[in-house]
Structure formats: C-alpha cells, structure tokens
Amino acid sequence: MITITFKSEDGECRGFDAFGHAGYAPEGRDIICAAVSALTQGTVSAIKELSSCKVTEEGGSGSLKFRIYNPDQTAIILLAGLEIALQDIQTEYGTYVEVCHG
C-alpha cells in the first residue's frame, strides 16, 4: 500500500510524506504507483518552478518527503490540488492508496 501523509502547521499544508508500493500489478506495470508518482513528482516540480517557497525534498525507492517553508498561495493551492487528486485515487483504489493527515 502507498501511504501519503499530508503535514500541516498553523492550519496550512506544509508538505507530505509518501511511501510504499501499491502492489496493484508487477513492478513496471503498476498503474497506481505510476499515478501517485506522477502526481506527487509533478506537484513538487510545479511548486519548485512556480512558487517562491523554500523547499526540502528527500526521496528513495518508494518514498518521498517534501516540505515547503514560507508558503505562498501558489504552493498552498498546488498541494490542495494534489490532495484532492490523491483522494480521488483512494476512493477508487482504497486497498492500494491511503491519504491521511499527521
């Protein structure tokens, strides 16, 4: 299962931790892993390109930890969009994806 935990501070989303593998299909053919990776990596890239926030990013096989500092509206909106998209995947494939707050 992939778990994505959104991290908040002062009532605002400040990033997320994503880890795990969906196990929906064999490696290289897993559409759930591909979807989650595309959404999370795309959001990170968009924030880095379009926002003036300072960020940290750590990743490895099956994991990504991303934090924003001095959040601006662009970053907040992009993270909100990511959460909505991941919740849609969870609604359809909840056995393989969990979205939570921590």
Where residue 72 falls (left for φ over 0; alpha for ψ -120 to 50; beta otherwise) is beta
Axis-axis angle for helices 31-50, 73-93 (nearest 10): 170
pLDDT tens figures, 28-50? 899 999 999 999 999 999 999 99
The residue-averaged pLDDT of 6-14 equals: 93
Choose the CATH number for 2-101 among 3.40.190.10, 3.30.70.1490, 1.10.3080.10, 3.10.20.600. Answer: 3.30.70.1490
Predicted pLDDT of residue 102: 87
Domain ranges of the chain: 2-101
> Is 11 a residue whose pLDDT tops 90?
no
Instruction: Determine the residue type at 8.
Output: S
The residue-averaged pLDDT of 79-84 equals: 97
